[in-house]
Amino acid sequence: MTQLLVLGLLKKGPMSGYDIQVTLQTSGAESWGGVLVGSIYHALNQLEKQSYIQIASIEQTGRRQKAIYEMTDAGDRYLDELILKSLKESSVTYPTTLYSALCFVDYVPREESIRALEKQKELLEEQYSELQHGYEEKKRYFKGELPAVSELIFENMFGEIRRQIKFVEKMTGLLQA
């Protein structure tokens, strides 16, 4: 996924690794894109080795130099492949850690299980709040109206978190009964 995001940003224009990192951090790519921001430089190295990107220039900033990367024609074709592959694959993810723990929930005291689920609900609510903040930031960036694709993505992410909260509430109720 990191390569897809890096190439997608470079398709818009040349950028340094730092600029890519900041852009992905600002957009919250770790949560919605499943990418660790620290993996960007590794992806840049791999993409350069495979000739999907190249150094367009070296900029001097104080005593430091930074490479500005651009996508090659091969990188443009590879980005198309990555996009189409990602669109074809199932994107359903399950909360596997939670499901695994629920298989053995009877092994621990019920009160502790309920407290743990209540903590998870708090974390989900925090995640929802952070997503709401990101949504508002993005709307400000786009001067009030998001592109339809972005709006639909946010709608889906909000729905996923709400569904998870509802599931945790039902499971908590089941354990309390």
Tens-digit pLDDT profile for residues 68-109: 999 999 999 999 999 999 999 988 888 999 999 999 999 999
- 28: pLDDT strictly greater than 90: no
Percent of the chain with pLDDT over 70: 100
Q: How confident is the model at residue 55 (pLDDT cuts 50, 70, 90)?
A: very high
- 35: pLDDT strictly greater than 90: no
Contact 69, 55 (CB under 8 A): yes
- Average pLDDT estimate for 40-61: 93
Q: What is the DSSP string of the chain?
A: -HHHHHHHHHHHS-EEHHHHHHHHHHHTHHHHS---GGGHHHHHHHHHHTTSEEEEEEEEETTEEEEEEEE-HHHHHHHHHHHHHHHHS------HHHHHHHHTGGGS-HHHHHHHHHHHHHHHHHHHHHHHHHHHHHHHHTTT---HHHHHHHHHHHHHHHHHHHHHHHHHHHHH-
Which position has the higher pLDDT, 141 or 173?
A: 173
- 135: pLDDT strictly greater than 80: yes
- Average pLDDT estimate for 29-54: 87
pLDDT at 81: 96
- 32: pLDDT strictly greater than 90: no
